[in-house]
Amino acid sequence: MDHEVEMITQVLLQKMGNSKKLIQEAASCSLSIMVANVTPARAMAALMASATQQCNALVRRLAAKHLLSVVELIGTEKLLSGKLQNLNLLVHTLVKLAQDNHQDSK
């Protein structure tokens, strides 16, 4: 499944923004399961690539929530000892999500 993580993340986030509450919850649950069962680095990359491209504030909030769970799973030490480019991208993405004007995305 690791190879399809980016595509699956993009589709699930899109479903969260274009669907009824039941489908939104199912897509969020599916994203949680995916995050728990793929390589954390791939899950983080896929969420960072898709999260900031979304127009829907709810989708950005849920993407940020799942990104937080991946960051917690990876751990501070491992994140800080990784490549500087990856850390810069993570910080840039988190700052962009934190500066979101919509209250629900914080």
Summarised one tens digit per residue, pLDDT across range 55-79 is 788 888 888 888 888 888 888 888 8
Q: Calculate mean pLDDT across residues 14-29.
A: 87
Q: How much is the pLDDT for 105?
A: 45
Neighbours of 3 (CB within 10 A): 9
DSSP state string for 70-92: HHHHH-HHHHHTS-HHHHHHHHH
Domain parsing of the chain, residue ranges = 3-104
pTM above 0.95, yes or no: no
CB-based contacts of 2, cutoff 8 Å, min separation 6: 38, 39, 42
**Over the chain, what is the mean pLDDT?**
83
